[in-house]
Amino acid sequence: MSVFQGRVIAPGCTSAPALVSHGGLNTLASFQKALQFGDKNATCGDQNNPDLYGKPMAGKALCLPQTIGSTTGGLVLYCACSMNRQPACLLFSNPIDSLAAAGSVLAAVWLDNISMPVIDSLGQAFLDYVKDGMTITIRENGRVEVTEG
């Protein structure tokens, strides 16, 4: 097991299989099928992200450097949560961008019985270490434990 410490953006504890992107997550392109067409698995629709394209994101520990894209990013994350199609958690190697932070915090504050813990500033060593399918466990204090699947 390897342990990484980050900053808590949206609190919560969870354990889920990792899904890793080494490029930025375009939230609108990635979640469009889930929001527009009812894809409950939130299959990534961003053809420009070879790490995630075609993979289900709902219920996964989404590990990434940052989000990219338009100003709709925060609203897209909030809507994915409100439709219960969100990742189990978002884990950023870099400091979180303002749009992803806004969507994550809004979901944490405004939605009852919906959890999507968000931790940022985990560092490049985290993103280099974690692989798809590894088990990610998040503790309340921003501690992220990574174990083999």
What pLDDT digit, counting tens, does each position of 2-41 carry? 999 999 999 999 999 999 999 999 999 999 999 999 999 9
Q: How many CB atoms lie within 10 A of CB 82?
A: 15
What residue type is assigned to position 50 of the chain? P
* 3-state secondary structure at position 89: strand
Q: How is residue 74 written in tokens?
A: 């925060």
User: Is residue 81 predicted with pLDDT exceeding 80?
Assistant: yes
d(CA 89, CA 60): 7
At 12 the pLDDT is: 96
Tally of residues, the chain: 149
Element (H, E) at 144: strand 143-147
Q: CB under 8 Å to 65, separation ≥6 — which residues?
A: 21, 22, 23, 24, 92, 93, 94, 127
At 70 the pLDDT is: 83
Tens of pLDDT, residues 94-110: 999 999 999 999 999 99
Q: Are 61 and 19 in contact (CB under 8 A)?
A: yes
